[in-house]
Amino acid sequence: MKIVVCVNHVPDTEARIKIGADGKGIDKSGITYILNPYDEIAVEQGLRLKEKFGGEVIAISLGGESNKETLRKTLAMGADKAILLKDESDRDSFSVAKALSDNLKEINSDIILFGKQSIDFDNSQLPGLVAEMLNLPSVSVVVKLEIENNQVVCEREIEGGHEKVESRLPVVLSVQKGLCEPRYPSLKGIMAAKTKLIEEKPVISNSKKVEIVSLRLPASKGTGKIVGTEPTAAKELVRLLHEEAKII
Ligand SMILES: Cc1cc2nc3c(=O)[nH]c(=O)nc-3n(C[C@H](O)[C@H](O)[C@H](O)COP(=O)(O)OP(=O)(O)OC[C@H]3O[C@@H](n4cnc5c(N)ncnc54)[C@H](O)[C@@H]3O)c2cc1C
C-alpha cells in the first residue's frame, strides 16, 4: 500500500506569537516549530497501515528549508521517504493545495492522510481541496479506520456522536485525536533519520486567491478585581456579577 502523509511545520503551542513588521504575518524570530500535532496522528496511522498491509509511507511538506526538521521527525517515527516542496512565497490554502495535489498526482498513492487542521492558520481546508483537485473521495475528522479489500470504513466525530461512512481506495482522509496514539521516535529511528535523504522539489506556480489584509492579536485581558478573601465577600461578588457584569 502506498501511503502519503501531508505534514505541516507549525509554531509550538507554547510559542509567544508576535505580529511581524508588515502587520500581515507573524514574526518568526525566536519561535520553535513542531510537527503539527494532528499530523503526528496521521503519520502514526500511516505507519500502522504499512505494518498491516506492507508498502511505504511517504511524508510530504510544503514550505521552507526549516520544514526539513518536521520531515526528519516523520522519518524518525518510521516514514520511508520525505519530500520537501520547497517554497517560501506567501500562500493561501488554495495555492498550498494546488502545489500538493500537482505532486500527489505523480505519486499515485492508495491513501492520502492529513491532520484535521493545521494549528497555525486553522483553515481545515487542505484535505477537502486536495481531494477535489485529485477527484478522490474524502472523509474528514476520522476517529476510527478499517480497511479491507480496498473498502474503507471510517467513523467520524460529529456533534454528540459518531458517524460511520464507507468509501473505496484511493481516498483522502483527515484525522482527529483519538484515532491512535502517536509513537515516540526510537533512538534507532532518530539515528536512521539523520542519514535518510529528504527529496527537494521546487514549487514555481502560486495560484493564490486570498489576500491577508491584516493580522492582530486578541485584546489583552483586563486586570482582575479581588472582591475579598473572607466568606462575607461572596455576597458582594454575587451583587457585582448581577449588577455590573450582568452575567447572573
Ligand atoms: C510557503 C507558505 C507560505 C505561506 N505564507 C503565508 C502568508 O504569508 N500569510 C498567511 O497568513 N499564511 C501563509 N501560509 C499559510 C497558508 O495560507 C495555509 O493557511 C497553510 O499552509 C495551510 O494551513 P491551513 O490552515 O489551510 O491548513 P489546514 O487545512 O488546517 O491543514 C490541514 C492539514 O493539511 C496538511 N497541511 C497543512 N499545511 C501543509 C503544508 N504546508 N504542507 C503539507 N501539508 C500541509 C496537514 O496535514 C494539516 O493537518 C503559508 C504557507 C506556506 C506553506
Q: Is the pLDDT of residue 11 over 90?
A: yes
Give the torsion through C-alpha atoms of 41, 118, 172, 81, to 10 deg.
-60
Q: What is the pLDDT of residue 220?
A: 81
How buried is 100 (Cβ within 10 angstroms: 0-12 exposed, 13-18 middle, 19+ buried)? Answer: buried
CATH number of the 2-202 domain? 3.40.50.620
For the chain, which residues make up each domain, given as ranges? Answer: 2-202
Half-sphere exposure of 90 (CA within 13 A, CB side): 10
Task: State the pLDDT confidence band at 204, using cuts at 50, 70 and 90.
Answer: confident
Q: What is the pLDDT of residue 136?
A: 98
How far is Cα 231 from Cα 99, in angstroms, rounded to an integer?
62
Give tens-digit pLDDT for 161-175.
999 999 999 999 999
Q: What is the pLDDT of residue 139?
A: 97
The x, y and z cell numbers of residue 153, run together, are 470504513
CA of 240 relative to ligand 1 center, distance in Å: 45
Q: Is the pLDDT of residue 222 over 80?
A: no
The x, y and z cell numbers of residue 35, run together, are 510537527
Give tens-digit pLDDT for 39-69.
999 999 999 999 999 999 999 999 999 999 9
Q: What is the pLDDT of residue 224?
A: 83
Q: What is the pLDDT of residue 166?
A: 98
Task: State the pLDDT confidence band at 223, using cuts at 50, 70 and 90.
Answer: confident
Closest-lying ligand 1 atom to the alpha carbon of residue 38: 49
CA of 244 relative to ligand 1 center, distance in Å: 43
Strand partners, 167: 152
Task: State the pLDDT confidence band at 95, using cuts at 50, 70 and 90.
Answer: very high
* Residue among 38, 121, 177 whose CB has most ligand 1 atoms within 8 A, to mutate: 121
Residue nearest to atom 8 of ligand 1 (CA): 90
Mean pLDDT over the full length of the chain = 94
Q: Name all residues whose Cβ lies below 6 A of ligand 1.
A: 6-8, 25, 36, 38-39, 42, 61-63, 87-88, 90-93, 96, 100, 114-115, 117-118, 121-127, 212
Closest-lying ligand 1 atom to the alpha carbon of residue 36: 49
* Residue among 8, 36, 62 whose CB has most ligand 1 atoms within 8 A, to mutate: 8
Give tens-digit pLDDT for 99-148.
999 999 999 999 999 999 999 999 999 999 999 999 999 999 999 999 99
* Residue among 66, 92, 118 whose CB has most ligand 1 atoms within 8 A, to mutate: 118
Task: State the pLDDT confidence band at 218, using cuts at 50, 70 and 90.
Answer: confident
